Amino acid sequence: MIEVQGVRAGYGDGPDILNGINLVADAGKIVTILGPNGCGKSTLLKCIAGFVRPRAGDVRMSGTAVTNLKAHEKVRSHGVGFVPQTDNVFSSMSVTENIMLGARFVARAEREQRFEALLTQYPALAAKRNRKASALSGGERQLLSLARALIAKPRILLLDEPSAGLSPRMMHEVFEAISEIRAREGICILMVEQNAFEALHISDTAYVLSLGDVAMQGRASDLLADPAMRSLYLGGDAPH
């Protein structure tokens, strides 16, 4: 479980991008962060993952303060899996190498087994296991990055716009994969999404950011029905 308390953050000497964010994401749930471009969604995810150090506030994982841990430390000690928004594969390495890099902390005996299980799950990757990641399509890269994170058995999965740039069919497949992960692994999934409508359908709760503040939050089903939410982010009026 992730708790974010009063996190303020920014880059270098620049202004605050996040002005005191509070957020909770429980184990076994999908929590989605929505909001317009540039409002700080990726920055929030990077704060949680350990790439941006908060200027104030706390990040806790399973009750422990992890605010100042580095990204790689969080991976090992708190089981964080992170799929960045862009550049989320090792492009010059093969599909197999990409996935296996995620398995460095998995016991040797279990590695192969989990690898094969993931390939069965994602046949698109199995067919290209010896190809370089740079030869994959956008959707395949997304799956590859997901597989790289999953082979480590994460307890927390951070996904930054997993459906960005995908065809509708591929987007559906990726969202399907994400809700399957929740059902199967019972882990805490926090994802940033632009495709609000589809994302809310698989989410439990959601937060809407606006210029570095939480503008709205609630159960995903409530937000889907909310008229203000509909007109602002879901591109349509509430059904009468």
Partner 1 sequence: MFQFVVDVALRACDLMLIAVGMSAVYSLMKFPNIALAQYAAMGAFLAIVLQRAGLPLVPSSIVAVLIVGVVAVLLNRVLFERMLAIGSSTAMIGSLAVSMVISAIFLVIIGPSPARFNLEITRPLRVLGARITEHQVLSLGITAAAISVFAILLFKTDLGRCMRATATNNLLADATGIDTRKTKTAVVAISACLAALGGIIITMKGEVNIQTGLDLLLPVFSAAILGGLGNPLGAVGGAIVIAMAETLITNVNFGPILGQDLVFLPAAYATAGSFVILVLTLLWRPRGLFISEVKRV
Ligand X SMILES: Nc1ncnc2c1ncn2[C@@H]1O[C@H](COP(=O)(O)OP(=O)(O)O)[C@@H](O)[C@H]1O
Question: Which partner in ligand X, Mg ion, partner 1, none is near 87 (CB below 5 to 8 A by kind)?
Answer: partner 1
Options 21, 34, 42, 155; binder of ligand X; rule CB under 6 A: 42
Shortest Cβ 160–Mg ion spacing (Å)? 6
H-helix or E-strand containing 218?
strand 213-219
- Which among 32-40, 95-103, 113-121, 213-221 is the span making contact with ligand X, rule CB under 6 A? 32-40
Contact 140, 125 (CB under 8 A): yes
- Tally the C-alpha atoms within 13 A of residue 137's C-alpha that lie toward its C-beta: 11
Options 84, 111, 124, 201; binder of partner 1; rule CB under 8 A: 84
- Per 3-state DSSP, what percentage of the chain is helix, strand, and coil (rounded to 5)? 40, 25, 35
Residue 90, phi then psi, degrees to nearest 5? -85, 95
Distance CA 67, CA 58 (A): 5
Strands of the 30-34 sheet, one edge to the other: 80-83, 156-160, 188-192, 30-34, 205-210, 213-219
Count of residues in contact with partner 1, rule CB under 8 A: 25
Options 29, 32, 34, 43; binder of ligand X; rule CB under 6 A: 43
Interaction between residue 17 and ligand X (CB under 6 A): yes
Interaction between residue 162 and ligand X (CB under 6 A): no
- Which CB sits closer to Mg ion, 42 or 163? 42
Options 2, 21, 48, 89; binder of partner 1; rule CB under 8 A: 89
Interaction between residue 72 and partner 1 (CB under 8 A): yes
Distance CA 215, CA 198 (A): 20
Nearest to 139 by CA among 123, 152, 153: 123
Q: Residue numbers of the site for partner 1 (CB under 8 A)?
A: 49-51, 70-72, 75-76, 82, 84, 87-93, 97, 100-102, 104-105, 148, 152
Residues that bind ligand X (CB under 6 A): 11, 14, 17, 35, 37-43
